[in-house]
Structure 1
Amino acid sequence: MGTSGLTIVRERKAKRGNKTSALGGPSESQYFYKYYVCIYQRYDGYVEGCGLGTWLVNFLCKFKDNLKNDPSSYLNTGSLGAKLINEFMTSEYDAHIIPIMSLKNLFAIPPDHTYIITTTLDSEFDNSIMLSALHGDEIILTARPENFLGKYEYYDTLQKDKDKKSFTEIDYGDEVVNEGYFSEDQLFNKFLKDIPFTFTINGLTINIEKSW
């Protein structure tokens, strides 16, 4: 029950020149990311059952269906973020909007689970919204919302095997590879691993380098 969760909404565009996100991120990234929303909750951040992951999948699938069935509608990341906030505020989750801050500060003490909703406005509709899941400070899955739970179950099954598969050994589908998410996820994982644990005791800030 006491599993924390963080939901982030961001939009990506192909990087031009050396422009990088104001929030930071991997310098090697091929994309520029604009961040819209950060929502934190202390409980039910897990994927399965009544967890945040399943709730987000249902929300995003409904959102995509509404777009697809309304010819006058189009994908707008700001509208997606506003709709998400409204749904959170009327849900049973004890969710709180938190200020947009640098990724290094956001992940100094990472939540148990983080979900990143990424939009690509110039992509094909089916691939225009992707959902990524992080356990701690590592991305373990990126998929279309409609494929997410099935692929998570596949990942979870592999992790229960004696010979666990690493992130880079699991096939998450052509849309993830061809749309550049797989390589971007690996860069993001490396970036997160380099962020030290940071906390303050009696006004003294302490940084602890990760050793794994």
Structure 2
Amino acid sequence: MGTHSIVLIRERKPKRRETSLLGGPARSKYFYEYYVCVYLHFDGYVEGGVGEWLANFLRKFGQDCSTQNDSMIQTYADTGLLGAKLINAFYSSSKLIMNPRLVPIESLENMFQVDHEYAYIITTSYDENVGINDKSIMLSVCDNKDFILTARPEKFVEKYSYYMEQMEKNKKSFAEINYDDEVEKDGYLSEDQLLIEFLKTH
């Protein structure tokens, strides 16, 4: 019930010479802009909790954006719109999400110091020609800086269940499990792993 979590939204961009004011791994191949950080006091776990709620919300958001992009009226969604809609959805939810709180955007070290068991990171890749669609959103979950799992929203819960089963039944460590999907090919997983390493040392 009282499983605390935080949710962050960030946009991935090509690497720049300057580093982000929020800090981050020096070996990262991308530049990240952070838009939102929300603290949730209850039900922060993945299955049946905040994680599954986020996956469903993001899947629908991506599908709606893709449908809109196919229409004759082109009003592309961006990361700012995603953040606004997510906050509105948090406050409109009468069942699972109770009393969400915005957290000040500070350094990554400070934001991750907020009391939580799970951290959810939503990463977008914005294309000026199409905006955001169902192919440009990733959802990651970090379990108390211990491991991070990254997936597209529609695969998120299934992938999490698979990893938990492999770890519990087959006694495999998180690093030994291979899911073989696009998060590795497109660099999302390696970037998230760098973030975990950074947070463990700061």
TM-score, normalization by structure 1: 0.84
What is the rounded CA distance, in whole Å, between the counterparts of 1:69 and 1:47 in structure 2?
28
Residues 73-111 of structure 1: per-residue CA shift (max 9 Å, x gap): 423000000000000011132211111111111223551
| Shift in CA distance, 33/177, structure 1 to aligned 2, threshold 3 Å | same
Task: Give secondary structure in 1 for the equivalent of 2:121.
Answer: strand
Match of 1:107 in 2: 112
Indicate yes or no: 2:17 matched with 1:8: no
Shift of 1:125: 4.5
Task: Give secondary structure in 1 for the equivalent of 2:171.
Answer: coil
| Shift in CA distance, 80/139, structure 1 to aligned 2, threshold 3 Å | farther
What is the rounded CA distance, in whole Å, between the counterparts of 1:156 and 1:106 in structure 2?
27
Task: Give secondary structure in 2 for the equivalent of 1:138.
Answer: coil
Match of 1:165 in 2: 173
Asked if the contact 2:5/2:116 (under 8 Å) is kept, the reply is yes
Asked if the contact 2:66/2:134 (under 8 Å) is kept, the reply is no
Match of 1:90 in 2: 92
Map 1:9-158 onto structure 2 (within 5 A).
9-17=9-17, 19-49=18-48, 51-70=49-68, 71=71, 72-92=74-94, 93=97, 94-108=99-113, 111-122=116-127, 125-158=133-166
Match of 1:208 in 2: none
Match of 1:204 in 2: none
Shift of 1:165: 2.1
Task: Give secondary structure in 2 for the equivalent of 1:21.
Answer: coil
Letter matched to residue 164 of structure 1: K
| Shift in CA distance, 139/11, structure 1 to aligned 2, threshold 3 Å | farther
Letter matched to residue 80 of structure 1: L
Name which structure has the greater RCO, CA cutoff 8 Å, separation 6+: 2
Gaps of 5+ in 2: none
Q: May I ask how many residue pairs the two structures share in their alignment?
A: 192
Decide which moves more: 149-158 or 63-72: 63-72
What is the rounded CA distance, in whole Å, between the counterparts of 1:23 and 1:190 in structure 2?
16
Tell me how large the CA RMSD over aligned residues is: 1.8
Asked if the contact 1:44/1:52 (under 8 Å) is kept, the reply is yes
Asked if the contact 1:67/1:73 (under 8 Å) is kept, the reply is no
Task: Give secondary structure in 2 for the equivalent of 1:63.
Answer: helix
Structure number having the greater strand percentage: 1
What is the rounded CA distance, in whole Å, between the counterparts of 1:139 and 1:9 in structure 2?
19
Equivalent residue in structure 2 for 1:174, among 177, 181, 191: 181
Letter matched to residue 180 of structure 2: G
Decide which moves more: 119-128 or 134-143: 119-128
Q: Percent identity?
A: 51
Gaps of 5+ in 1: 196-212
What is the rounded CA distance, in whole Å, between the counterparts of 2:111 and 2:179 in structure 1?
27
Decide which moves more: 182-191 or 140-149: 182-191
Shift of 1:174: 3.0
Match of 2:198 in 1: 191
